[in-house]
Amino acid sequence: MSEIEKIRVELTVNGKHHVLYVSPCKTLLEVLREDLNLIGTKRGCDDSNCGVCTVLVNGQAIKSCTMLIPLANGCDITTIEGLEREGGLHPLQQAFIDRFAVQCGYCTPAMILTAKAILDENPNASEEEIRDGLHGNLCRCTGYTKIMEAILDVRDGKYKESCGEV
Amino acid sequence: MANLIGKSEKRIDGYDKVTGKGLYASDYYNQFPHMAYIKAFRSPYAHAKIKKIDYTKAKALPGVIYILTGYEDVRWDDFPKMAIIAKDEVLWAGQAIALIAAETEEIAEDAVKLIDCEFEVLPFVSDYYEAIKPDPVSVIDPEYETRAQGFQDRPADRATNRVSPNIVGAYYMHTGDLEQGFKEADIIMEDEFSVGKKTASPLEPATAICKYEPDGGLTMISNGAGVHGVIKEHICRVLGMPESKVRVIQPYMGGSFGSRLSPYVELQTALMAMRIKRNVSYRFTRKEVFTAGPSNWSCTTKVKMGAKNDGTIIAHDYYLCEEIGACVNNTFFSGRLSSSGAAPCYRFPNMRMDTFAVATNTVPAAEYRGLGCPEAEWGIEIMVNRLAEKLKMSPVDIRLKNIIDPGERDIYGEVITSIGLKKCLLGVNEVIKVEEKPVQDGSVWKRGKGCAVAGKQNTPLGRSEAKVWYNSDGTIQLFISCDENGMGATTAMGQICANEFGVDLKDVKVIKGDTLCTPYDNYSASSRTTYNTGNAVMIACADCINKLKTEVARVYGLNPKNVEIKGKKAILKGTYVQEVDIPPLFKHWTMFTQGNWGLQQYSPVVGYGVYCPAPIHQWGPDGKSDRVWNWFQYSACAVEVAVNEETGVVKVVKIASSADTGNPINPEIVKSQIQGGVHMAIGFTTMEEHLYDEKGAQSNANFSDYRLPTIGEMPTNENVFALINPDPLPDGPYGAKGMAESITVPVGPAIEEAIYQAVGVRLNYYPMTAERVLAAIKEKKAREAAK
Ligand code: FES
Ligand code: FES
């Protein structure tokens, strides 16, 4: 693997433009964690089954452990580090705290990003639609009930800002 | 400052975790230079002799640093070496044979493939039935010395006195007169029950980073449990290192559920670091989480109960066997732990328990949320439901008739000081109304309801210490070493501390899990943290407050009795002021004072607390004692399920679960534990199970084939009811006790009963997968057709 030539990749991550020279065998997850030090994106299985590596790629929730870096070239990526703003937390982040939707927290960044993708696409998503959207994100601790409560609170406008534009 | 106990304060780790700023073990990778990475060469066979092994090619690969094998000279002491590395013989598929350290993970992986190993495949034992049959294959070949400590020749079957080489321990208990009990019974029912093997599967795989210190010591950062009582202790013992040179740090943990109490990855990494004198890391793959261990231990039980017509259960003959995998690790296996699940709920005036544990050539078992109680109580709760049906009683009434009341003694002879189980049961029944038939919609989805209850003992597990600093600006620091697997313990400890001082939670900074500065705690297990560490925190706070009172009293020439501390203020009695701010009493040192007495700025007033529960009392030949356990947590669960009679798929559509937590410190955190607990139990009772191939290797060691429950398996929010029905624990901090384990226990038997009510089939085995339910439905139809 070390003999494979590096390729040039351009990524916009959390609004910041990056030019990177990396092995084409690397996954987006590895590049985010190892090359960009964005360690808020986690790793739990490597075969697209746990969802803790989820990030937004052009607004879509994508499991970064199975996206090879050439595929992400030119993409606009949002990780959990990109959600907090100057004025405070993103509504979903605040709602996760307020609703006790966090235990060990290992699934949390991915859950929040997936929820953001769901609500960005459909701000009035029903509980059923949100359940469908969260289907690929495992949580071992919370039983999902409080995660759903948090997302519904944001959907229902309990927080001043609506979900969206980060 | 209002009372903080029973208030749902926001978690103190919430911000760190929703922003991705909180660090987990694997997030430290980038911080260590000159790191070596470990990969393991593992056995593909369940049981084999290592005939020949050749590392030459692997060693020659550029970038390979060291290959560690079972032939290393290591002082294993009483740790099962085989759990870390094999020698001569492999005992399960997944056991490490060689650990390779290389400059990168990829090189280490390549080197694994270059190891040339010749095996002589030996017959293996993969389940309980094979392990105890007459003249069974021996899990450990008698030719080898790998026979672990703990293996003893015990009669596998007391009746025939037949000895199996695979038995590792046994326990026997009887109370009352069993024979007489059965004579007096109006009905007697019996059956045999069993369950599959499962892996706790925290989402963060086991990870350890070991920093090699220039003084020959090491600093370990891992997501393992028990910085002092598990990791440091084992590193010192096995590696023979001085305590002064071992530091263990536990950052945020991505879950444990008991599985991270086995320090495999930590010992492997530490051994390697000391060999190569470099920073070393080892991160299990998901496959290794399954096959390198640990799993839970499954149990097979035989339950025979006799009851009077009024529902009083008067005789219970109970047999249990734990199936523990290939070696005895740092748990005690004799069936005693699991069978404790038979004790806390019901009176059982005449009872016999005959329990033991048996090894198999599968991944070594260890703690998994509930410590064998979900497995042990599965058959008991099903039997109680069946008795109720036979006696035409409600499953609620039969339980109310037999559940122990506070102050009564359990089967061991212990006094039960706190039991809120009846309230829990009535609570969940109010939601689900199990006595009322569910509405059927005429589709293939048949509805049914069921309920069950559970208790789980708390084992006294040693000492918890806490240290508290009252700083000169009035802020407070709490130092503790309990684990924070995610359950919210640090928030609860912070609340207790803040409450003692009368300050807001935000004024207390909790420092946790670093052996360099946080005092001793064994580990968080058996739901002990709130109780054990919580008591230590209260004692430490009292110590600090007393010292502070003494100092303030000196300033004002008072007896400390006349000083009260309320956060940053002291309330004084009998002098010229009634209330003073404390921080200004801390004086800056000067040349003329040297600061050698009294309160000095930047020098905190320190409190210290130690809490140890009373020791247990050795039981007699009848297995009885007035103190076997510490206290009991309780839960009840009621469900409504829909069963597809054409596919066998079971959906839990509504669930109510109630916990007797003692007085909850933080009710919302408790509710989140309840919801997480029932979800985990829905997973392991309807979906999760290890499957094996013909070599005896686990064939579903990944998340594609070993399916964990998703949000789809949880009922929708309006159909999830998490209730708290406390009975305060007299010796708990503010009457609190632990609660995270018993929650999972009654879910399976409640679902089983609901399936029966829906489609008329009984299941004795979980997971109750669609295949199994469908097979039972077909069998029932065939039986009916034959009639
Ligand atoms: S790491 Fe599990 S889905 Fe990506
Ligand atoms: S909070 Fe632990 S996995 Fe979701």
Domains within chain B, CATH numbers bracketed: 27-123+208-291 (3.90.1170.50), 298-460+618-786 (3.30.365.10), 464-611 (3.30.365.10)
Residue B153's pLDDT is what?
Answer: 42
Inter-chain residue contact B672 with A80, CB threshold 8 Å: no
User: What integer pLDDT is reported at residue B81 of this predicted model?
Assistant: 83
Which ligand 2 atom is at minimum distance from the Cα of A101?
A: 1
User: Which residue among B203, B674, B711 sits closest to A106, beta carbon to beta carbon?
Assistant: B203
Return the residue whose CA atom lies nearest to atom 3 of ligand 1.
A48
In this prediction, residues B246-263 reach a mean pLDDT of 97
Contact across the interface for A39 and B20, Cβ inside 8 Å = yes
Residues with CB under 6 A from ligand 2: A 102-108, 139-142; B 203, 255, 486
Mean pLDDT of chain B: 94
Please state the rounded mean pLDDT for residues B418-437: 98
Least confident of A115-124, B77-86, B689-698: B77-86
User: What are the phi and psi torsion angles at B670 (to 5°)?
Assistant: -60, -45
Task: Check: CB of residue A32 under 8 Å from CB of residue A64.
Answer: yes
- The model's pTM is 0.96
Report the pLDDT value the prediction gives residue B136, as an integer from 0 to 100.
Answer: 85
pLDDT band of B149, cuts 50, 70, 90: very low
Contact A104 B486 (CB under 8 A): yes
SS3 of A128, please?
helix
Contact assignment for A112 to B16 by CB distance below 8 Å: no
Single-letter residue type at B106: E
Residue B380 clears pLDDT 90, i.e. is over it: yes
Instruction: Tell me the per-residue pLDDT of B477-523, one tens digit each, with 9 for 90 and over.
Output: 999 999 999 999 999 999 999 999 999 999 999 999 999 999 999 99
Choosing among B11, B17, B288, B747, which should be mutated to test the A contact, i.e. which has the most A CBs within 10 A? B17
Q: Which of B103, B105, B203 to mutate to test the interface with A (most CBs of A within 10 A)?
A: B203
Burial letters for B347-386: b for 16+ Cβ neighbours within 10 Å, e otherwise? bbbbbbbbbbbbbbbbbbbbbbbbbbbbbbbbbbbbbbbb
| B424, B633 contact by CB (below 8 A) | no
pLDDT for the residue B75: 78
Nearest C-alpha neighbor of B129 from the set B283, B300, B13, B6: B300
The 10 Å CB-count burial string (b at 16+, else e) for B238-276 is: bbebeeeebbbbbbbbbbbbbbbbbbbbbbbbbbbbbbe
Higher pLDDT, B396 or B76: B396
Q: Which residues of A touch B19 (CB under 8 A)?
A: 40, 80-81, 83-84, 89, 93
Q: List the single range of B227-241, B346-360, B590-604 with lowest mean pLDDT.
A: B590-604
Give me the residue label for tokens 């002291």: B570
pLDDT at res. B594: 84
Residue B718: both structure tokens together:
């309006």
Point out the ligand nearest to the CA of residue A43: 1
Contacts across the A-B interface (CB distance below 8 Å): 186
User: Ligand 1: which residues within 6 Å by Cβ?
Assistant: A 43-46, 48-53, 63, 65
Please give the average per-residue pLDDT across B282-291, as a whole number. 97
CA B221 to chain centroid: 21
Q: Would you call A129 an interface residue with chain B, using a CB distance cutoff of 8 Å?
A: no
Helices B489-501, B529-556: inter-axial angle, 10-degree rounding: 30
**What is the predicted pLDDT for the residue at B120?**
97
**Cα-flanking dihedrals φ and ψ of residue B610, to 5°?**
-125, 135
Question: Of all protein residues, whose CA lies closest to atom 2 belonging to ligand 2?
Answer: A104
* Band (B95; pLDDT cuts 50, 70, 90): very high
Instruction: Categorize the per-residue pLDDT at B135 as very low, low, confident or very high, splitting at 50, 70 and 90.
Output: confident
pLDDT (tens digit per residue) in B169-186: 888 999 999 999 999 999
Domains of chain A: 7-81 (3.10.20.30), 91-160 (1.10.150.120)
pLDDT surpassing 60 at residue B159:
no
- Residue in B257, B252, B254 with CA at minimum distance from that of residue B200: B257
As a whole number of angstroms, the distance between CA B263 and CA B283 comes to 13
Residue B663 has pLDDT above 70, yes or no: yes
CA–CA dist B355, B335 (Å, integer): 5
Rounded Cα–Cα distance for residues B275 and B639 (Å): 55
pLDDT at B151: 43
**Rg (Cα) of chain A, in Å, rounded?**
16
Q: B456, exposed or middle or buried, with CB in 10 Å at 0-12, 13-18, 19+? A: buried
B703 and A138 in contact by Cβ < 8 A? yes
Distance from residue B123's CA to the centre of ligand 2 (Å): 40
Tell me how far apart the alpha carbons of residues B515 and B504 are, in angstroms, rounded to a whole number.
Answer: 27
Q: How far is the CA of B162 from the centre of ligand 2 (A)?
A: 46
Q: How far is the CA of A64 from the centre of ligand 1 (A)?
A: 7
Residue B142 — pLDDT band, cuts 50, 70, 90?
A: low
Per-residue model confidence as pLDDT tens digits over B209-240: 999 999 999 999 999 999 999 999 999 999 99
DSSP B362-426: SPPB---TTTTHHHHHHHHHHHHHHHHHHTT--HHHHHHHHBPPTT-B-TTS-B-----HHHHHH
Confidence (pLDDT) at B748: 98
Nearest to A33 by CA among A105, A98, A81: A81
Which residue out of B11, B12, B16, B18 would a mutagenesis test of the A interface target, given it has the greatest number of A Cβ atoms within 10 Å?
B18
Shortest CB distance from A143 goes to which of B255, B678, B712?
A: B678
pLDDT of residue B152: 45
List, as ranges, residues 95-114 from A with C-beta within 8 Å of B. Answer: 96-98, 100-109, 112
A39 touches chain B (CB under 8 A): yes
Cβ distance B18 to A148 less than 8 Å, yes or no, reads: no
Cis previous bond, B767, omega within 30: yes
pLDDT tens for B598-649 read 899 999 999 999 999 999 999 988 999 999 999 999 999 999 999 999 999 9
Of residues B153 and B131, more confidently modeled: B131
Cα B315 to averaged position of ligand 2 atoms, centre (Å): 43
pLDDT at B134: 77
Give me ligand 1 centre to Cα B118, in Å.
35
Q: Ligand 1 centre from B221 Cα, in Å?
A: 23
CA–centroid distance, B108 to ligand 2, in Å, is: 30
Interface test with B, best of A102, A126, A147 (most B CBs within 10 A): A102
pLDDT of residue B593: 83
Lookup: tokens for B330: 């740092």
CB–CB contact A104 B286 (8 Å): no
Q: Indicate if the pLDDT at residue B760 is higher than 90.
A: yes
pLDDT of residue A3: 67
Q: How many CB atoms lie within 10 A of CB B516?
A: 10
Rounded to 10 deg, the angle between the B667-686 and A145-155 helix axes is 120
Taking an 8 Å cut-off on Cβ atoms, the answer to whether A107 and B671 are in contact is no
User: Do A40 and B716 lie within an 8 Å CB cutoff?
Assistant: no
**Model pLDDT, residue A138:** 98
Contacts of residue A104 in chain B, CB cutoff 8 Å? Answer: 202-204, 252-255, 485-486
- From start to end of B234-291, where are the E strands? 246-249, 279-283
Task: Report ipTM for this prediction.
Answer: 0.97
Amino acid B73: pLDDT = 77
Which stretches in chain A have pLDDT values below 50?
1-2, 164-166
Of B10, B201, B680, the CB nearest to A98: B10
